[in-house]
Amino acid sequence: MKRALVIGGAGFIGSHLCERLLAVGHEVIALDNFITGNPKNIQHLKSSNFSFIEHDITKSAEVPGPFDYVLNFASPASPVDYMEKPIETLEVGSLGTQNALKIAEKSNAVFMMASTSEIYGDPEVHPQKEDYWGNVNSIGPRSCYDEAKRFSEALTMAYHRYYNVNTRIIRIFNTFGPRMRLRDGRVVPNFSVQALSGKPITVYGSGNQTRSFCYVSDLVDGIVRLLDVEYHNPVNLGNPAEMTILQFAQKIIDMTGSSSEIIYEPLPTDDPKQRKPDITLAGKLLNWKPVVSLDEGLEKTVAWFKEAINQE
């Protein structure tokens, strides 16, 4: 049995990761300050091998170890959240990441940094490979998140090069599944909740911008595989099946049987026009690829949203 510290463990992805690590026989300590996480996400993980620490990782690295794995998934991740909390987002990407790295260094643990496809900004290369440096506006409204993650990657590599910390970096592309917040602000919860509530579905811009959607269990599978592969440069994890936002809106309407109309709003500043991961490296390195189809994942996710709406 290995001990894993999951920072941001009460968040959407973090809670699914805690669940998977417990399932494969590890002891899991989740850490969260609930800035965007939710205690309900981990309340079912009652186990002698699971514990929780309420703590703000930006404040200190004083967390009782030792650990075999330290996984840093702490950060607001939706535009609604990081634009409302830009300072907190920058702090968790800098101070929080350094404190997480200090914990890993002290324990001689494998450290994993959860980065993002936002690293690539509004990409001029398609699909996006790990060796693409990106097209990012460093002072735009989204920069608090983009630059926080870019700094996190730089800091992670510095700790690897200068302190020999055994690091991993994953770049997460659009991921969806149960436990996303109803008002998360990202496209899957937005469209699902609007359709289920019979409200107009809000499409920004023309709707011709593209995204690709990965179900959370596939993402977590890639994360767990990478933990035990000694590779320190970034690895894309996501589903390369690409579609336009307008196509996705229609899919949600069809799946929910909703009578919602589609309305159009101006495209937010620096919103990426296309987003699709090149997962060749993950395939070679981890023998990994997504296996859950979009329809299968959406059926589970929409059912979860429907139940969550009814409980409000």
Listed in sequence order, the DSSP H helices in 49-92 are: 79-84, 86-91
Catalytic residue numbers read: 145
Q: Which of 289, 282, 274 is nearest to 239 (CA)?
A: 289
107-133 per-residue burial string, b: 16 or more CB within 10 A, e: under 16 = bebbbbbbbbbbbbbbbeeebbebebe
Q: Which two tokens stand for residue 267?
A: 């495209």
Dist. CA 199–CA 190, nearest whole Å = 10
Beta bridge partners of 169: 113, 234
Q: Which of 74, 220, 41, 55 is nearest to 145 (CA)?
A: 74
Decide if 145 contacts 90 (C-beta within 8 A).
no
Dist. CA 214–CA 216, nearest whole Å = 6
Decide if 237 contacts 172 (C-beta within 8 A).
yes
Residue-level length of the chain: 312
The DSSP secondary structure of 115-177, one letter per residue, reads: EEGGGGBS-SSSSB-TT---B--TTSTTHHHHHHHHHHHHHHHHHHHHH--EEEEEEE--EE-
Locate the DSSP E strands across 193-257.
201-204, 210-212, 214-215, 234-237, 242-244
